Amino acid sequence: MQTVSMQDEIQELNLSYLLLAQRMLNEDRTSAMFRLKVDGETAEVLGSLSARQLARLARCNQVVFGLHFDNAEQLTRATTNSHEPALSQTHAAMLLASG
C-alpha cells in the first residue's frame, strides 16, 4: 500500500516540476535554462511537450529531476551557512550556479 502511495507522490511531484519548468521556459527561456540547468535543445523539447506528453513522462516511477548539489559538502554549506540571514539565499544560489 505504501509503495503505491509513494509512486503516486512521485508522479505528482514530477508533473508539478514539469509544468513549472515548461511555464518558466515560456516566460523567460534564458533564465529558465540557467535555473533548470538544461541546454537549448532540451529546453526546446520540454517547452513543446503537450499536456498528454507531460503526463506520460510524469507517470514514470523515478523522479525526473535531480538535486544540483555535486556533493554533501555543498549541501551542508548551503543549509548551515554562517552568513547573515539576508545573504543565505544568495549564497545558496551561488553554490548552485557553480555546479
Residue by residue, pLDDT tens for the chain (99 residues) are: 566 789 999 999 999 999 999 999 999 999 999 989 899 999 999 999 999 999 999 998 899 987 767 778 877 776 776 656 666 667 667 666 665
Would you call 99 helix, strand, or coil by DSSP?
Answer: coil
Can you read off the three cell numbers belonging to residue 69? 548539489
CATH, domain 1-66, list 1.10.357.10, 1.10.3720.10, 1.10.4000.10, 3.30.70.330: 1.10.4000.10
Distances (CA, A) of 41 to 18, 19, 29, 38, 98: 16, 18, 12, 8, 22
Per-residue DSSP letters for 17-65? Answer: HHHHHHHHHHH-HHHHHHHHT--HHHHHHHHH--HHHHHHHHTSSS-SS
